[in-house]
Amino acid sequence: MTVQTPPPIPYRPTPEHVAFDRRELGVILGLYGRMVAAGEWRDYGISHLREVAVFSVFRRTAEHPVYRIEKRPRLRQRQGQYAVVGMDGQILKRGHELPTVLRVLERKLIRVVD
């Protein structure tokens, strides 16, 4: 009788940086384009760090970000990995789905258009 050993588990290194995928960037850039067309936003910056990916939105190039859209995969099972953070560091919305979290900024777009 021979004992078969299970196949080895492939090694998957942890990613060095958290990043937005193509679908997430499509959703974020769609909102960004509408806000630029409304004259509210003028510039953006993307940071891919070890534990968080950040999409920062600016009114002008040389100032602090008005909003930060953050992705923290470690919070996926808890509060949700996506968050919108205001200029003062206050979390405006947090959740598991990016379009749902970005609705807090969509409301601001509706006020600007009206």
Each residue's pLDDT tens digit, 35-78: 888 888 888 899 888 889 999 999 876 678 889 999 988 888 88
Helix segments in the chain, DSSP class H: 22-37, 98-113
Both structure tokens of 111:
């006020």
Q: What is the pTM of this model?
A: 0.76
Residue 61 has what pLDDT? 66
At residue 27, what are phi and psi to the nearest 5 degrees? -65, -45
| CB 79, CB 73: distance < 8 Å | no
| CB 95, CB 101: distance < 8 Å | yes
Domain coordinates in residue numbering, the chain: 22-113
Three-class DSSP category at 78: coil
Using the structure block, give the residue that is written with the tokens 């940086």: 17
